Amino acid sequence: MTQDHHHVQPIESPLLSSPGLKHGFFTRQGGVSSGIYAGLNVGLGSRDEREAVMENRARASRWFDIDPARLATVHQVHSPDVVVVTADNVAERPAADAMVTATPGIILGVLAADCGPILFADPEAGVVGAAHAGWKGALYGVLENTIEAMIALGARRENIRATLGPSISSANYEVGPEYVARFIDHDPSYQSFFTPSAKPGHAMFDLPALTLKRLSAAGVTATSLGLCTYADPKRFYSYRRTTHAVEPDYGRLLSAIAIREA
The predicted pLDDT at position 6 comes to 52
Rounded to whole angstroms, the Cα distance separating 129 from 138 reads 15
3-state secondary structure of 137: helix
The per-residue pLDDT for range 100-132, each reduced to its tens digit, is 999 999 999 999 999 999 999 999 999 999 999
Q: How far out from the chain centre does Cα 205 lie?
A: 18
Judge if pTM exceeds 0.85: yes
Taking a C-beta distance cutoff of 8 angstroms, is the pair 139, 103 a contact?
A: no
Extract the runs of DSSP E, i.e. beta strands, from the chain: 21-25, 71-72, 82-84, 98-101, 107-112, 116-122, 127-133, 161-164, 174-175, 194-196, 203-205, 221-224, 253-259
What one-character DSSP code corresponds to residue 258?
Answer: E
Arithmetic mean of pLDDT over the chain: 96
pLDDT digits (tens, 9 = 90+) for 170-186: 999 999 999 999 999 99
| E strand spans, 114-259 | 116-122, 127-133, 161-164, 174-175, 194-196, 203-205, 221-224, 253-259
Tens of pLDDT, residue by residue over 183-212, are: 999 999 999 999 999 999 999 999 999 999
Structural domains of the chain, with CATH: 5-169+224-259 (3.60.140.10)
- What percent of the chain shows pLDDT beyond 70? 98
pLDDT at 262: 81
Residue 2 pLDDT > 50, yes or no? Answer: no
